[in-house]
Amino acid sequence: MATVRDIIGDIHRAVISITKDKSVADAISQLVEEEIGALVVVDAGKPVGMFTERDVLKCWTRKGDTPFKDVKVSDVMSVNMIIAEPDDDLGYVTSIMIKNRIRHLPVIENHKLEAMLSIRDVVKAQVTDLTAENHYLKDYISDKYPG
């Protein structure tokens, strides 16, 4: 089975982050501008949480009439970060994402943020593996292999 390391090389996008003292309005603007669903929240350059589309909805329902520009990201971000490491098996990562109902997973190596995995990245890698395996099995069954 493939590992996170196997697919993060294929992900050619920067990890987008926001500082914890920015406003929710700033975070929403960044999500829209970058066309992404999650930001890593940083403090002094270190990841301290995640801000996702779900956090926008939670903010909207829990903060009442408070304008998004008056609410700090640190007040509504998810602080219990679930992370992946480069040597994690994709099956394990998939189960973690499903169990915790999350669609984005920061990849941390040596206390450094290396990449952001989306559920789309993981599914794409698994479909590619299954497609190749299916092809080889069909060739094997139809006796296309010499020997």
Note the pLDDT tens digit of each residue in 55-109.
999 999 888 888 999 999 999 999 999 999 999 998 899 999 999 999 999 998 8
Query: Over 70: is that where the pLDDT of 28 sits?
Result: yes
Closest CA to 4 of 99, 121, 102, 103: 121
Question: How many Cβ atoms from other residues are within 10 Å of residue 136's Cβ?
Answer: 12
Question: How many Cβ atoms from other residues are within 10 Å of residue 97's Cβ?
Answer: 20
Query: Over 90: is that where the pLDDT of 32 sits?
Result: yes
> How many whole angstroms separate alpha carbon 127 and alpha carbon 16?
26
Angstrom distances, CA of residue 68 to CA of 27, 63, 93, 133: 9, 9, 33, 48
Per residue in 118-142, pLDDT (tens digit) is 888 888 877 766 666 666 666 667 7
Query: Over 80: is that where the pLDDT of 13 sits?
Result: no
**Can you give the residue ranges of every domain in the chain?**
4-141
> How many whole angstroms separate alpha carbon 90 and alpha carbon 126?
8
pLDDT of residue 70: 94
Question: How many Cβ atoms from other residues are within 10 Å of residue 80's Cβ?
Answer: 7
Q: What is the CATH number of domain 4-141?
A: 3.10.580.10
Query: Over 60: is that where the pLDDT of 147 sits?
Result: no
pTM here is: 0.78
